[in-house]
């Protein structure tokens, strides 16, 4: 009988030790659970903050894009009006395609009776395309952050512009150079454009050899 009591006491002691160990594990798990809950709260707060940052970034990017678009439209419009002496407007339409911004360029001609909205390549032939391309290059240089230093290099910038407007192109380039304090290096066959430059050089090729001669205005 005593042996059974002793065995029972040992069994009870083992159970108490087991319960103590399991109780310790439970307390440790409860502490870990509290830490996980705290981490979840922190993660939730961070997610909420990131969502607000994303919204702010999207609104900021949209605002910056609108501002840049307005600046580019204004500069190109003034350039077209200056050169072609007409009530013409440059328009940029931006739409989202597959989460990417896609820009389309248009030239709007307005008269008393109607408004014509066309792509630059379909408006007045190639001359408008030349001027739009020229004005866009100048606009991008001026609004780019950080500022792009160095000269503006042009290769036949008004190749398709008719002679009646070529003088305006020359005046525009000269005023642009002075206004933005930027040197313009231009390759051209047009005598008027070359005549407005401060320094003019003629390049002639003879038997595959190029000869450069300074031209006095």
Tally of residues, the chain: 217
Residues 118, 135: Cα–Cα separation, whole Å:
18
pLDDT at position 122 is 77
Q: What residues of the chain score a pLDDT lower than 50?
A: none
User: Residue 127: which of 87, 182, 166 has the closest Cα?
Assistant: 166
pLDDT at position 114 is 77
Contact 86, 116 (CB under 8 A): no
Domain annotation for the chain: domains and CATH numbers: 59-215 (3.40.50.300)
pLDDT at position 24 is 80
Residues 217, 177: Cα–Cα separation, whole Å:
19
Torsion angle, alpha carbons of 109, 128, 77, 106, to 10: 60
pLDDT at position 125 is 62
pLDDT at position 152 is 92
- Whether this prediction's pTM lies above 0.75 is answered by no
């Amino acid at each position: 009988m005593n042996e059974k009591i002793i065995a029972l006491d040992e069994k009870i002691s083992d159970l108490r030790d087991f319960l103590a160990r399991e109780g310790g594990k439970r307390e440790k798990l409860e502490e870990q659970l509290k830490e996980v809950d705290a981490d979840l709260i922190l993660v939730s707060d961070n997610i909420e903050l990131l969502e607000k940052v994303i919204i702010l970034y999207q609104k900021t990017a949209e605002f910056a894009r609108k501002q840049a678009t307005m600046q580019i439209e204004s500069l190109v419009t003034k350039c077209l009006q200056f050169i072609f002496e007409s009530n013409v407007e440059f328009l940029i339409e931006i739409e989202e395609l597959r989460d990417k911004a896609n820009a389309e360029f248009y030239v709007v001609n307005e008269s008393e009776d109607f408004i014509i909205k066309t792509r630059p390549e379909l408006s007045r032939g190639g001359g408008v395309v030349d001027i739009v391309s020229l004005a866009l290059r100048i606009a991008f240089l001026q609004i780019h952050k950080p500022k792009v230093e160095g000269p503006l290099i042009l290769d036949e910038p008004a190749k398709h512009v008719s002679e009646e407007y070529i003088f305006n192109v020359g005046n525009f380039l000269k005023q642009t150079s002075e206004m933005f304090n930027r040197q313009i290096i231009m390759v051209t066959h047009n005598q008027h454009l070359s005549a407005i430059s401060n320094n003019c050089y003629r390049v002639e090729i003879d038997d595959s050899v190029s000869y450069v001669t300074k031209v006095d205005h």
